[in-house]
Amino acid sequence: MPRNNNIKKVLVIGSGPIIIGQAAEFDYAGTQACEELKKEGIEVVLVNSNPATIMTDKHMADKIYIEPLTVTTVQKIIDIEKPDSILPNLGGQTGLNIAMELYESGFLNSRNVRLLGTSSEGIKNAEDRQAFKDMMESINEPCIASKVVTTVDDAKEFANQIGLPVIVRPAYTLGGTGGGIAYTTEELSEICESGLRLSRVHQVLIEKCISGWKEIEYEVMRDGKGNCITICNMENIDPVGVHTGDSIVVAPSQTLADKEYQMLRTSAIKIISALKIEGGCNVQFALNPNSFEYAVIEVNPRVSRSSALASKATGYPIAKVSTKIAIGYGLDEIKNEVTGKTYACFEPVLDYVIVKIPKWPFNKFKAATRDLGTQMKATGEVMAIAPSIESALLKAIRSLEENLDSMEMPKIKEYSTEKILESLKKVDNERIWVIAEALRRGITIDEIHNITTIDKFFISKIDRIIRMEEQLKTQNVDSTLLLNAKKMGFTDKVISRLSNIPEEKIKQMRIENNIVANFKLVDTCAAEIEAKTPYYYSSYDEENESIPNKDKKKIVVLGSGPIRIGQGIEFDYCSVHSVLALKKLGYETIIVNNNPETVSTDFDIADKLYFEPLTPEDVENIINVEKPYGVIVQFGGQTAIKLTKAITQMGVRILGTTEEDMDRAEDREKFDEALERCGILRPKGDTVFTVDEAKEVANRLEYPVLVRPSYVLGGQGMAIAYDDVEIEEFINDINKIAQEHPILVDKYMLGKELEVDAICDGEDVLIPGIMEHLERAGIHSGDSISVYPTQTISKEHQDIIIDYTKKIAKELNIIGVLNIQFIISKEKVYIIEVNPRSSRTVPYISKVTGLPVIDIATRVILGEKLKDLEYGTGVYKKSDYIAVKMPIFSFEKIKNADTSLGPEMKSTGEVLGVSKVLSEAILKAFIASGTKIQNKGKVLITVRDKDKEEVSVLANELEQIGFEIYATSGTAKFLKEKGLNVKAVPKIWEGTDSIIDLIQSGKLSFIINTPTKGKESNRDGFKIRRMAVECKVPCFTALDTVQALYEAIKNGVKEQDLTPVDITVI
Amino acid sequence: MVGYLVLENGQIFEGEKIGYDSKETICEIVFNTSMTGYLEIFSDPSYAGQGIVMTYPLIGNYGLTLEDMESKKPWVEAVFVHELAEVESNFRSKLHVEKFLKYNKVPGLQGVNTRKLTKVLRENGTMRGMLTDSISNIEEILEKIKKHEIKNLVEKVTSNEITQIGEGKINIALLDFGSKQNIIESLIKRNCKITIYPQDTKAQTILDGKFDAIVLSNGPGNPEDCKTAIENIKELYKSNIPILGICLGHQLMGIATGAKTYKLKYGHRGPNHPVKDIQKDRIYITAQNHGYAIDENSVNPEIAEVSHTNLNDNTVEGLKYKNKEIYTVQFHPEACPGPEDNNYIFDDFLKIVENRKKC
């Protein structure tokens, strides 16, 4: 079936901000989709609220709307653009839900817009719990005993029938939001209540608990003719019970005989045929480990996180092919780009294994529970490719950047054997290291299997690693043992640590014995057919298949590893743009990264892709083969920056700002010197290593002080200390991980924060614009609402900021990009920090100013001068539009995470609101963030004493426009004295009709709660904030945020009144 | 203990010996890309005379699931794997694969750079090779390899006597050139009673049985070696009995009706070959295991037309004979290992047989 030529203009819906459960994979999928559509000559209209994505780049689509992903806004865009079709299955659950709502309301029909790909009926049959169950029954595919309920009572009744434990799964939510396993009736009520609230259709599924079964996924593909293929299957090392996004996953399945493999494959194909899926689809199964009994868990009728993983695991471009199918092509008409000879209609076979490990944000949330269950908690993931499980597992562990490089976790080695046995029962993010330690203590594979229900095959693989550790500790390390250790994935550093032989000596021994990493091709076909994919992984098997290009200058761009809080998709944006710029300049580009969700790990972005951990040894292996002209580190976030020193020591050129100059920005004393030379002020501070030193400094500077480790991103470990007790707590926290660098203690200054990204060529500086934070200093820049261009800053101060930027950029010999944080306090401008690298704001500022920041920076890095380029120097011209960047949090996914904002970043993503009017831009950003905007209603206020004065003004304003004010006793008393009409609400411990009841009533529009000091999680404030999250009531912990909200709603402007902006014309 | 695989072009691959301790084994070296189903492959009679390289690096993970055997014993001459699992895990596993190989006298190597070996076979074409303990006298080894002839394998694997199996209503004669168990199972499941005949059974003997249909099974080696069978099949062709040919059976029917076969450079062995069913206009993923193919140009259009083609290399994957109820396919509709998508071949064929029966 050839392409449908009636399709001329397609609306692609993106997935919105990065949140837990929906990360960069949809930027990857959406980007591929846009590219394919454009290649077909189809006009592409894109809507996505996430400015950090590559898909929202000017060249990706013909019309780009960075607008809220809501039905109202998308309808407006459809009316403006009049597309003939809509592509719903590449924008994650968000995109799919919106498309379905538009369809169900009859809007699409009324505008003659067709839904591409799977029909709405097919989507509904897959997504709606009951419809899906019915369909499975009709084709004789087994489901787990389950029932859809809409009330807690019905849930209890059904649970009585099938027996506890049961799993609660809310319908139409992503990442299993609100779900969980209930072992008791009380737990059932609790989970069920929150699940019902979170479900778009107010439904939850109560289902028989089959914990301990194998969890197997199939990525399948079907075209409009009915041709079906499976791309890949995957086996979760963690049995059913842990969300697949939180499971360690291997591909292909390892413990299934062909009979089981084919049984599930046939079932998957039967299911997608019945659903008439057109495009990529994911089917999840539970398989009884002791029989052929299986059950279909769920089907995602769209491209998913697993599709991204399967694409990278096999080399098969699922999103691309799905897009082609959506516009009419058959699988037998689409070329397989990997071989260039064969067609997309085949099934990849692997001659390696892949291991995926999730990246969890627990280091950000001290109080949060690390337990893993049916609700996904990971923000990102890493993948590793190797010829053995052992090697892939160790590579993946290195890629996680958790200060771990082996199966040894120092903390766990301290545990008593009793505690180890106890910990084995706990399903959390440290379990594989607990298993490793258990094996070291002589606990048998069988015993561990009995406790964890993890398949013995996988435990035996960890056991092999443990035995290799033992050999390295006790035996003479000869070339045979060394080769075996390398084949198993041990780094020189680990071998050195275990054998007590210096790392240099190990390396030398390797070189003498020709034990070097070779690179193998990911070719989709296990070498059966000659392939062209420039996609490689390392192996210690002989024969290097990566032949370096001798004719071109080669540049390595280091990627940014897994998505985590503080280092998100923005850095992938930067890496990819740098690669594209280098290609244009005629260089051969080489990218190194380990994140399967990203655009950068798409094999046709760079000339060569190395899917490898980002550690000195792993990168050196690549350098040894490629011998590049240089390496660019400044776009890969802290992951790449951390490698600067090691790469310099390898004798390889760092392109752009040098290691020495980067160090001058990070090293406290050197940085102070630099600032002094430029005559720039900065908050007073000092460096310390110990608690006593810190106390001394803090008292000298006078509290409050800002405490933070150096060389981190996202403000990790950063906190404001108000007294000696707190400083002790914070310094001890930071020192839990050995610090190579001193801890910084600075005077905490209250004031306005500003941010600048700039490009410097050593002589001139180009500043795209100045961004102003709405929240005052003290909240991490990534968690603040940021406005471009500045709205409240005087010309004089702007000039100082520009002047300082130029001075410090030149002083630090910056070549490329830099990011500077300023504070204006008591009419004086200070620099808080300088980051000699790309930042979180680069994609956003690039889009709203129209300045291709990374492209320019890359050219400058390669020696071009700003004055010779067409963009000028100094400050770039101000845009007519105002852009408001708003942080997005995933608090509902992380149980017990404190939602109060502070100097340590907590947001997982961001959205943008664009308008010519500030209040409208803010309103758009709030809408895009998912905050339900109400112009009147009930507001609960509970603030600390020092905020009371200020909140009274705000409360007054809110009352004026029709809000009813509720407050806890102290706040209420204060506000009443100010003449406000306030209803006092009893505090939690004051019993019935307390604040908790009020929050649960669902009648509050929002809550204003400023946290009292300290991080203890048992305070009332913490409970209020958590309750707000559970009940989906917006809770603001900074008064400035509420002020912004007030500005946005005070005029009574509603979403319907806002005009979508096509940013390609900015 | 270290062992070596010496290829006839002189290339040497090293590994650790597994399975049976043979001093020297010479065979044709081929690779298979299946990620599961090693046991089905080892026990498929079509691999007689061949040493098999598994491209998937982890073999033996789920141990030995005896009921998955495709015949009573392994027929491969030798196995070459990257890693043989130390601990196997599957609820059906009875034994570790290593013990099974030893018991059945199949030697092998693990720790082999199977990817490199596969590429060598891909580039140079299928070669003979020797698995040996010592490479001290390479000239002598190469001489031996050159002298080694692989002939008349079908005679080795066919059944010696006529047997009957199944209780079904459709009466089938199966000419056994080394049939996989699952061809038989697939027919039994579909209401057939099967009489299995040795490969050299006279056509008349079969015709005398008044069967509803005849199935020509898969089998090893060069189809041109099967001179007797080809002559018999000529006779069967003349009858009006519906015939289904699978793999070698497909090739033999081709030769019997005047077509030619040729040796593929490195064969098709794996679970992922896309085949187009021309009449249905659909692509199915097929399991394959063959070193020879029918030359499309040699097919007389008066006699047969191509019903299936391989989407990757356009080779002939199936023929439909004119004015006859004869259908032959190059791939394995019975799967095991591989996708079950092509079971429809049995369904379609038996529907024709049944309809004819009714008439």
Q: Which of B65, B113, B338 sits opposite A257 (nearest CB)?
A: B65
* CB contact residues (below 8 A), chain A span 269-288, against chain B: 269
Q: What pLDDT, on a 0 to 100 scale, did the predictor assign at position A739?
A: 66
**Which helix (H) or strand (E) covers residue B173, if one does?**
strand B170-176
Q: What is the pLDDT of residue A194?
A: 87
B247, B250, B317, B336: the active-site residue:
B247
- A346 and B272 within 8 Å at the Cβ level: the answer is yes
CB contact, 8 Å: A728 with chain B? no
A472-486, A974-988, B47-61, B189-203 — which is least confidently predicted?
Answer: A974-988
B276 touching A (Cβ < 8 Å):
yes
How wide is the angle at C-alpha A467 spanned by C-alphas A464 and A471, nearest 5°?
Answer: 135
Ramachandran sector of residue A918 (left: φ over 0; alpha: ψ -120 to 50; beta: rest): alpha
Assign A64 to helix, strand or coil: strand
How many CB pairs (< 8 A) connect A and B? Answer: 160
Closest approach of A483 to chain B, Cα-based (Å): 12
A349 at the B interface (CB within 8 A)?
Answer: yes
**Please, what is the Cα angle at B42 between B39 and B47, to 5 degrees?**
150
Nearest-Cα distance to chain A for B68, in Å, is: 8
- Which residue has tokens 């580039």? B123
- B68–A257: do the CB atoms touch at under 8 Å? yes
CB contact under 8 A, B68 and A389: no
Partner-chain contact B36 A261, CB within 8 Å:
yes
Instruction: Please answer yes or no on whether A258 and B338 come within 8 Å at the CB atom.
Output: yes
- Distance between CA atoms of residues A603 and B256, nearest Å: 49
Per-residue tokens: B179 = 């049939």
Ordered domains of chain B (ranges, CATH): 2-150 (3.50.30.20), 154-358 (3.40.50.880)
Q: Report the amino acid identity of residue B342.
A: N
Residue A434 Cα distances to A357, A428, A465, angstroms: 16, 10, 14
Interface of B with A in 82-101 (CB under 8 A): 82-83, 85-92
Q: How far is A615 from chain B (nearest CA, A)?
A: 26
d(CA A710, CA A692): 18
Walk me through the domains of chain A, giving residue ranges and CATH numbers: 9-116 (3.40.50.20), 118-143+211-348 (3.30.470.20), 145-209 (3.30.1490.20), 355-515 (1.10.1030.10), 519-655 (3.40.50.20), 684-748 (3.30.1490.20), 888-1057 (3.40.50.1380)
User: Distance between CA atoms of B168 and B170, rounded to whole angstroms?
Assistant: 6
Least CB–CB distance from A259: residue in B68, B272, B285: B68
Residues 6+ apart with CB under 8 A from A799: none
Mean per-residue pLDDT for B60-65?
Answer: 96
Of these residues, B98, B268, B332, B336, which one is catalytic? Answer: B332
Dump the DSSP string for B175-231. Answer: EESS--HHHHHHHHHTTEEEEEEETT--HHHHHHT--SEEEE----S-GGG-HHHHH
Find the helix or strand (DSSP H, E) in which B54 lies: strand B50-54
Is the CB of B341 less than 8 angstroms away from the CB of A353?
A: no
Verify whether the Cβ–Cβ distance A347 to B92 is below 8 Å. no
| CA-based nearest residue in chain B for residue A350 | B56
Confidence of residue B248 (pLDDT cuts 50, 70, 90): very high
Q: Are strands B170-176 and B192-198 parallel, antiparallel or unpaired?
A: parallel
pLDDT at A376: 93
pLDDT at A730: 85
User: CA torsion angle for B327, B332, B335, B336 (degrees, to 10)?
Assistant: 130
Between the alpha carbon of residue A224 and those of residues A14, A278, B34, the distances in Å are 23, 6, 28
- Answer yes or no: do B118 and A528 touch at CB < 8 A: yes
- Calculate what percentage of chain B has a pLDDT beyond 90: 98
Q: Please, which residues have CB within 8 angstroms of residue A655's CB and are 6 or more apart in sequence?
A: A555, A629, A630, A631, A632, A861, A862
Of B55, B91, B338, the CB nearest to A526: B55
Please report the pLDDT score of residue A1 as a whole number: 65
Q: Do A351 and B113 touch (CB under 8 A)?
A: no
Which of the residues in chain A have pLDDT under 50?
Answer: 1017
Q: Tell me if B87 and A529 make a contact (CB, 8 A cut-off).
A: no
ipTM: 0.97
- Spatial CA neighbour of A589 closest among A852, A382, A840, A862: A862
Say if CB A562 and CB A541 are below 8 A apart: no
* Catalytic annotation present for B334: yes
Beta bridge partners of B26: B130
Residue B281 touches partner A, C-beta closer than 8 Å:
yes
Q: CA of A754: how far to CAs of A529, A781, A816, A987, A1029, in Å?
A: 56, 9, 20, 37, 29
CA distance A300 to chain B (A): 22
Residue B192 annotated in active site = no
The closest alpha carbon to A299, from A409, A405, A143, belongs to: A143
Report CB contact under 8 Å: A353, B57. Answer: yes
Q: How far apart are CA A758 and CA A812, in angstroms?
A: 13
String of b and e for A696-735 (b: at least 16 CB within 10 Å)? ebbeebeebbbbbbbebbbbbbbbbbeeeebbebbbeebe
A439 touches chain B (CB under 8 A): no
Distance (Å) of CA A557 to CA A151, A574, A658, A661, B253: 53, 10, 15, 19, 58
Per-position b or e across A810-837, b if 16+ CB within 10 A of its CB: bbbbbbbbbbbbbbbbeeebbbbbbbbb
A294 close to B (CB below 8 A): no
Exposure letters B219-234 (e unless 16+ CB within 10 A, then b): bbbbbebbeebbebbb
Answer yes or no: B305 catalytic.
no
A478/B contact by beta carbon, under 8 A: no
One-letter amino acid for residue A405 of the chain: D
| Residue A226 token pair | 């009915």
CB atoms within 10 A of CB B202: 13
Q: Would you call B68 an interface residue with chain A, using a CB distance cutoff of 8 Å?
A: yes
Which residues of chain A have a CB within 8 Å of the CB of B122? 527-530
